[in-house]
Structure 1
Amino acid sequence: MPDTPSPPLGIATFNVNGIRAARRRGFESWLAGRRLDVVALQELRCAPEQVGAFDGYHAAIDCGSVPGRNGVAILTREAPAAVRTWVSHPPRTRDLRVYAHEGRYLEVDLAHTPLTVACLYLPKGGLPAHLQRPGNMRDTPDGGAKYDRKMRFLGAFARELRRNRRAALGAGREFLLLGDLNLAHLPHDVTNWRPAQKMEGFLPEERAWLDAQIGPRTLVDVVRTVHGDRPGPLSWWSWAGESFVKDVGWRIDHHLATPRLAKTAASVTVDKGPTPGARLSDHAPVVVRYAFR
């Protein structure tokens, strides 16, 4: 008899904006209903002992040591073959070590699939000093300090990302970076992209950084490739106003995969809640099915 094809590998990235709050809003029901193989979570925003268990999953977790901030996790159906955090395995890029305690990056090798999965929560950043105008900003002007910090992180992480991708390939594994990158890449990724060009997350230099990380021989933007050259799919909407109802948002939650893995992507779904009251977070899970085993 011919071999039965393996079912697609269901993988999601989801910024929960506080795992305890997401659970109160129905996260467990979503997780049980989706029956995914791998789920990368960002912004746990709690201490390790407050994260709790995830029924049916093994959880690799790095909450960091900044109270109530950041925190990443990767859930897998089977215990991973290896887990690496920036605490257990300090970044080889020295400029990233200052972020090691913040709970921003986690990496696992799947046990029975030749795949390394990484989860990243990238700093939100801010505006450069020359774009800061008191009275026209949500945050207090800081002279560009948050912007400078984010750009330093991006420069250092580009080197680390390249090393980690090559290490996975050298070990016979594909590589997949999941997470909230706090960056939108193309005009199709932002509802009102023209004014967004002067907003953090869509600044020309931020977009240029992401552009440099992706390419046909390095990492592929899986969601954009599958969805096509058209608006969306958005994954973040402000809590304020009617952004959610009017679908005014950004695509900042990403699947960046090595080319061989990316070619197997069969579908993309963003689990946007049906109503504002049904939202699990200000983000929505981004689910990709990969025909890869």
Structure 2
Amino acid sequence: MVTSPTGGVCPPGSLIVMLRIATANVNGIRAAQRRGFDDWLTGRHCDVIALQEIRAQANKLPEGAFGGYHVALETGGLPGRNGVAVLTTRPPAAVRTWSGTALLGEPHAGPGDLREVPAADRVALARDLRPFIAEGRYIEVDLAEVPVTVACLYLPKGGLPAELQRPERMREAPDGGRRYRRKMGFLAGFGRYLVRTRRAALAEGREFLLMGDMNIAHTPHDLANWRGNRNHDGFLPEERDWFDRQLSPRTLVDVVRSVHPDTDGPYSWWSWAGQSFAKDVGWRIDYHLATPRLARRAIRAEVDREHRGVRLSDHSPVVVDYETG
């Protein structure tokens, strides 16, 4: 039995070293801490963790919000919304954001210990992404211990096109398709950006891993009630077609699906309402998308549905163990 550098356990009989990597939409770092996020962070023994929806500016972060990890953080400029971070056991070799700056913190850093550093991107930002520069939706780091670039994304939720909006069926007021158009513009720009940044990583001898809340269920296996959601944002044909175009055996691979082929789930998001969680009526919208060589190294993938009987968020962490030696 071999353990990872941070204490995670590989399957019995393994002769490998493991890198444990997780993605989690915490839906507010302060709320997640109240539900036990600190305990999960300490006990899960991950080497790298991508977080979305931090929902706190630097001066509003709880003390020691990111435990014993180094943190690279992009809060964005919208108080109480968005915000992404990558936690690592060693300081990252490089950090990049769309805004050109990032906040870095040492293990157990408090709000006053974070320092702003230049974090210029290495590829041109697609025009469709420029309206999102200050929203805190993307951060990218080069790991120091292995040749891997890790990107963390919080993709806009979006909405329905105007012709599908029915006020009696909507929780939000009809908007004439504004949120839909905004998301589709983001997808168009991000698809081009993703090609360039993936190729840039490979040109430097690094594998590439995109993680985060994509707000799209890719296939009918990725949500419990797919027939009833065919005209629901997050499962629209055009969103799924976009997802199709990002994946191929030569570009990016859906790692969890490669480990769990032809099965329903494992879901990573459930509504707080009703019995959705208890009945596992969920959506799989939180992903690890990796370059093929890295994807082939995945030896285990699982969703931490709850921690000590408590949900940390409306999302649950998606944890993958990768072979590194």
TM range (shorter): over 0.9
The yes-or-no answer on 1:178 pairing with 2:190 is: no
- CA shift, 1:93, in A, is 1.3
Of the three residues 60, 71, 75, the one matched with 2:83 is 71
The yes-or-no answer on 1:32 pairing with 2:42 is: yes
Alignment partners' CA distance in 1, 2:46 and 2:130: 32
Q: Which residue does 2:18 correspond to in 1?
A: 8
- Assess if the C-alpha contact under 8 Å between 2:156 and 2:215 holds in 1: yes
Q: Could you state the TM-score of these two structures normalised by the residue count of structure 1?
A: 0.96
Alignment partners' CA distance in 1, 2:252 and 2:272: 31
Range moving further from structure 2, 49-58 or 79-88:
49-58
Relative to total residues, which structure has the larger helix share, 1 or 2?
1
- CA shift, 1:151, in A, is 0.1
Describe how 1:1-293 pairs up with structure 2 within 5 A: 7-52=17-62, 53=64, 54-88=66-100, 89=120, 91-273=124-306, 278-292=310-324
Alignment partners' CA distance in 2, 1:147 and 1:122: 12
- Aligned pairs, how many? 289
Q: Could you say what secondary structure the match of 1:243 adopts?
A: coil
Q: Deviation per CA, 1:45-98: give whole Å up to 9, x if none.
A: 111122343222100000100111100000000000000111113552122121
Q: Could you say what secondary structure the match of 2:139 adopts?
A: strand
Alignment partners' CA distance in 2, 1:187 and 1:51: 38
Identity of aligned residues (%): 63
Q: Deviation per CA, 1:100-135: give whole Å up to 9, x if none.
A: 100000000001200000000000000000100111
Q: Which residue does 2:9 correspond to in 1?
A: none
Paired residue type of 1:278: V
Gaps of at least 5 residues in structure 1 are none
Paired residue type of 1:155: A
Alignment partners' CA distance in 1, 2:157 and 2:289: 19
- Assess if the C-alpha contact under 8 Å between 2:98 and 2:125 holds in 1: no
Alignment partners' CA distance in 2, 1:266 and 1:169: 22
Q: Deviation per CA, 1:1-45: give whole Å up to 9, x if none.
A: xxx955210000000000000001000000111010000000001
- Assess if the C-alpha contact under 8 Å between 2:266 and 2:303 holds in 1: yes
Alignment partners' CA distance in 2, 1:48 and 1:123: 22
List structure 1 segments (4+ residues) > 6 angstroms apart after TM superposition: none
- CA shift, 1:165, in A, is 0.2
Range moving further from structure 2, 42-51 or 196-205:
42-51
Paired residue type of 1:260: R
Paired residue type of 2:37: F
- CA shift, 1:274, in A, is 6.6
- Assess if the C-alpha contact under 8 Å between 2:40 and 2:307 holds in 1: no
Alignment partners' CA distance in 2, 1:101 and 1:179: 18
Which of the pair has the greater relative contact order for Cα pairs under 8 Å at 6+ separation?
1
- CA shift, 1:195, in A, is 1.4
Alignment partners' CA distance in 1, 2:185 and 2:324: 35
Paired residue type of 1:119: C
